[in-house]
Structure 1
Amino acid sequence: MKHFPIYLAVEGRKIVLSGGGAAALAKLRLLLKTEARIEVFAPNPAAEIVGWANESRLALHQREVTQADLTGAVLIYAADEDAFLDSRTATMATKTGIPANIVDNLADSAFITPAIVDRDPVTIAIGTEGAAPVLARALKADLEEHLSPRLGLLARAGRTFRSAADALPFGRARRDFWRDYFLGAGPRLADEAKAKDVLETLLTKHLSTETKEGHVAFVGAGPGDPELLTLKARKALDTADVVIHDRLVSAEILELVRREATILDVGKQGFGPSTAQDDINALIVEHGLKGAQVVRLKGGDATVFGRLDEEIEAVTAADISWHVVPGITAASASVAAIGQSLTRRGRNASVRFLTGHDMKGFADHDWRELAAPDQVAAIYMGKKAARFIQGRLLMHGALPDTPLTLVENASRHDQRVVSTTLAALPSDLADAALTGPALALLGLSPRAVSAPLSQPLVQEQA
């Protein structure tokens, strides 16, 4: 992030703009929505600017700006649409220590102005750091379409009631009150005059409610692409007080967690540093008993090789309520990446989800059944067990040229695909030097995938 977004206090403070043409008009239409004192310097201002000056909406000086004119300003806009004049204004601003924006000149500007959705006092700023202004405008239009024009009314009423709401304990209790207002009773208000009555009724209800009990949501975070997160999972993250996550949960998904929430990493690493399962169970129970909304966030689907039962048993023993939010498992993401399906009519009517190792070491399976022709299996945590798996399958009659595909970091931007055979598995795996989590698809080879630009491309290796 090269530009840090802030909301600058401008009420009653001076903003200087140099320029009187189209660029100046565009900026002034936005600036005039603020409560700042706007001073414009333009020898030949557009008629619209003169009109605003006559209405006392801004102060107009029909001359070029000088160094002295900048004194006391909080922001300066160089909008003369002339490289020399704009550079001169920016240089004077730098000497005065005031940030300046040169319209349509990102490189030489000290700040940029985002696209803004205005529901005063609610404002949403959208910035792309100058990389994609068309995209910013498209996002603005989309938000304008979906946000109620009465949103400002709700916010203004709520602002007058903030001190009264402080009677509620800080944290979840207060947040639940405002959620009930903004997402429940508030949008049904006919006018602002009735808002106080609605707020007082809600406050009485929440003050009389007993302390709410904690709850645990066991949430599948999917394979890593935040777009594959379910809507129900996203809602759980929006309301979480505490998020306890695994190592495989991507940073992009953790970015979606409320900033006020406590985020705890209890990641496990195969054959490496790990948090003991008993400690994870105790942590979940500890926060649940404190009355927190806990999200136990697991990579993929929480019900597939996620030790879910052990954690549910610990929560149940502590008499804490819970529910499970399924996620997209790595097997589904991996076959999607290679353009295949886990089952196919005439080939296999069943598919197996296996793990490469268990608590006692390499996991054993029905190798004779797996070695039969046309079998398909998704093998989790199989990198380190590759030679063991190869040996067991060949020993039980599997053909050496049986296709096998490894998908590393399925669905993520650093996804890689290694296409090999059972005979070549250990050597190809060593050559690929996979470092991320990888899933092996026994019996499947990649098919060309026409992925949209937003999706990772399949990289094949023989």
Structure 2
Amino acid sequence: MKYFPVFLDVAQRPVALVGGGAAAVAKLRLLLKTEADITVYDPAPAAQIRAWAQADLLKISKAPLTLDQARQAQLIYAASEDDSCDARTQKIAQSAGTWFNWVDNLEQSQFITPAIIDRDPVTVAIGTEGTAPVVARAIKRDIEERLPQNLGALASIGQTFRSLAEALPFGRIRRDFWSRFYFSKGPAAYDAEGVAGAKRVLHELLAEFKSASPKPGHVDFVGAGPGDPALLTHKARVLLHEADVILHDRLVDRRILELARREATVIEVGKTGFGPAMAQDDIHHLIVEHVARGAQVLRLKSGDPTVFGRLDEELEAIAAQDISYSIVPGITAASAAAAALGRSLTRRGRNSQLRVITGHDMAGYAEHDWRDLAKPDAVAAIYMGKTAARFIQGRLLMHGADPLTPVSIIENCSRPDQVIRSAPLNALTEALHNLAGPVVLLYGISPRTAVSHVFQPQEADLCL
């Protein structure tokens, strides 16, 4: 993040804009939404600017901006559409030490003005650091359609009620109260009866929530998918926003965790194969402890929680405490890896089965029906197989697998740093060299898409 978003108090404070043409008019349409004391510096401003001045919405100075005036201003905009004039304004602003924006010149500006959604006093600012204005406009349009037009009025009414609402317990109950007011009961009452209707609904909701029994805690077991936040399900996104406590696996992408509420408690309960790990009993204890406090707990697991996620163990732990739960599936790594390869996991005439196996389990390297896996038509998605690769390779070759059986290797599947490699079975361990991220192996499937490297067996490996 190059630009840190802030909301600046400009009420009754000087803001200077140098320029009087179309660029100035466009910027003033936004600035006039504020309570700033705006002065336009231009000898012959456009008719629209003169009309605003006649309506006492701003002042016009036909004399140039001086250094003293620049020092008094909180913000300075250069919008003359003349490079030499705007450069002079920039020098004055720099000498005065005042924040400066050169309209449509990102490189020469100290700050940028975001796209704004105005539901005063509710304001949504959208920025792309000047890289993609069309994206900001598209986001603005989508949010505009979702937010009630009367949201600003409801926010002002709600502000006067906040001290009364503090009688409700902090956390989920209070959030539910305000959510019902702003997005359900409030808009309808305001449209029908105005301010009086909105205030009536607030008192009714407060009485309802005060008399309601406290909500019991609950846990949602949610699949975070392979890494790309765009692959999260809609339900997973909703629960991320609602959760009071998030207990997440080590491999959950940080971008996904950014979708959580800022007030949520976020705890990593990660495990590393053959490395540091939080004990499973400790994870059980954390879930039960937070649910007992009435929290809405999100147990966020990489991929799909039902695939090598130790889900049953956690379900058994909460069942003993009679805790309510739900399971939200996610896209598992095998599906994402096949998509990355441009392949299907099953194909008529190639494989009538798909095995989903793990490279190691609680006892160490995992044993499987190697003779069956060594058959020519076998296809398997191998999770956690990087450390166990030589063991897997040896077992398959020992039981008659073709040394040239294709293996696709996908590291950091679906993430920006995704790596795809391809190797025959007898070059598998070499192909895994220098891969530090999580890896899924697709045994019996070769990539259709481009790969970073195709490994060939060394001469000494041919006898394996």
Aligned to 1:150: 150
| Range with greater deviation from structure 2 (310-319 or 399-408) | 310-319
Aligned to 2:454: 461
Question: Quick one: which amino acid aligns to residue 198 of structure 1?
Answer: V
- The C-alpha deviation readout for 1:164-191, integer Å capped at 9, x for no partner, is 2122122222111111222321232324
**Do residues 383 (structure 1) and 386 (structure 2) align?**
yes
Aligned partners of 1:71 and 1:378: how far apart in 2? Answer: 66
In the TM superposition, what are the counterparts of 1:223-242 in structure 2 within 5 Å?
223-242=226-245
- Which position in structure 2 is the counterpart of 1:177? 177
Equivalent in the alignment of 2:338? 335
d(CA) in 1 for partners of 2:288, 2:90: 58
Partner in structure 2 of residue 56 of structure 1: 56
Counterpart position of 2:462: none
Contact 1:116 1:125 in 2 (8 A): yes
CA distance in 2, matches of 1:359, 1:142: 48
Contact 1:220 1:325 in 2 (8 A): yes
Q: Select between 86-95 and 232-241 the one with higher mean Cα deviation.
A: 86-95
SS in structure 2 at match of 1:257: coil
Q: Is the 8 A contact 1:229 1:327 kept in 2?
A: yes
Query: Aligned-pair distance for 1:37?
Result: 1.4
Q: Structure 2: 5+ residue runs without aligned partners? A: 456-464
Q: Which residue of 1 aligns with 2:447?
A: 446
Tell me the equivalent position of 2:91: 91
Tell whether the 8 Å contact from 1:222 to 1:329 is kept in structure 2 after alignment: yes
SS of the residue corresponding to residue 223 of structure 1 reads coil
CA distance in 1: counterparts of 2:114 and 2:241, whole angstroms: 25
Query: Counterparts of 2:184 and 2:444 in 1: how far apart (Å)?
Result: 52
Q: Percent identity?
A: 60
| 1:179 partner letter | S
Give matches, 1:327-366, under 5 Å. 327-366=330-369
1:196 to 185, 194, 199: 199
Deviation at 1:157, TM superposition (A): 2.7
2:460 maps to none
Q: Letter of the aligned partner of 1:36 in structure 2?
A: A
- Residue 384 (structure 1) shift: 1.2
In 1: Cα distance, 2:360 partner to 2:129 partner: 47
How many Å apart are 1:245 and its aligned residue? 0.6
TM (norm. structure 2) is 0.94
Q: Deviations over 1:398-449 (max 9, x none)?
A: 111111111111111111111111122122223xx21111011111001137
Partner of 1:314: 317
Deviation at residue 391 of structure 1 after TM alignment:
1.3
Whole-angstrom distance in 1 between the partners of 2:212 and 2:87: 61
TM-score between both structures, scaled by the size of structure 1: 0.94
Equivalence for 1:277: 280
Contact 1:15 1:73 in 2 (8 A): yes
Shift of 1:148: 3.3
Partner of 2:130: 130
Q: Residue by residue, what CA displacement relative to the aligned partner does 1:231-255 show, whole Å, maximum 9, x if unpaired?
A: 1111110101111111110011011
Deviations 1:44-96 (A, max 9, x none): 11111111111111111122111222343221112222233223223322333
* SS at structure 2 position matched to 1:423: helix
Matched residues in 2 for 1:19 and 1:365: separation?
76
In 1: Cα distance, 2:96 partner to 2:265 partner: 42
Distance 2:104 2:161 in 1: 42
- Per-residue Cα deviation, 1:107-131 (whole angstroms, up to 9, x for no partner): 2212111111222222211111111
Distance 2:119 2:70 in 1: 31
Show the counterpart of 1:324: 327
Amino acid of the structure 1 residue aligned with 2:107: A
Give the secondary structure class of the aligned counterpart of 1:414.
coil
* Stretch deviating more after TM superposition (318-327 or 256-265): 318-327
1:371, distance to aligned residue in structure 2 (A)? 0.9
Separation in 2, partners of 1:142, 1:271: 46
Q: Per the alignment, in what secondary structure is the counterpart of residue 57 of structure 1?
A: coil
Equivalent position amino acid for 2:446 in 1: S
Of 295, 299, 311, the residue aligned with 2:298 is: 295
- For residues 35 and 217 of structure 1, the distance between their equivalents in structure 2, rounded to whole angstroms, comes to 45
Tell me the amino acid that sits aligned with residue 439 of structure 1: V
Ranges in structure 1 where 5+ consecutive residues have no aligned partner: 450-457
Query: Structure 1 segments of 4 or more deviating over 6 A?
Result: none
Deviation at 1:460, TM superposition (A): 4.2
The structural deviation recorded for 1:158 is 2.1
Amino acid at match of 1:296: R
Please tell me whether the aligned partners of residues 302 and 327 of structure 1 are also in contact (alpha carbons under 8 angstroms): yes
For 1:50 and 1:21, locate their aligned partners in 2 and report how far apart those are by CA, in whole Å.
Answer: 11
Aligned to 1:28: 28
Q: Is the 8 A contact 2:71 2:97 kept in 1?
A: no
Q: What's the CA shift string for 1:333-352, capped at 9, x where partnerless?
A: 01111011111122222211
1:257 maps to 260
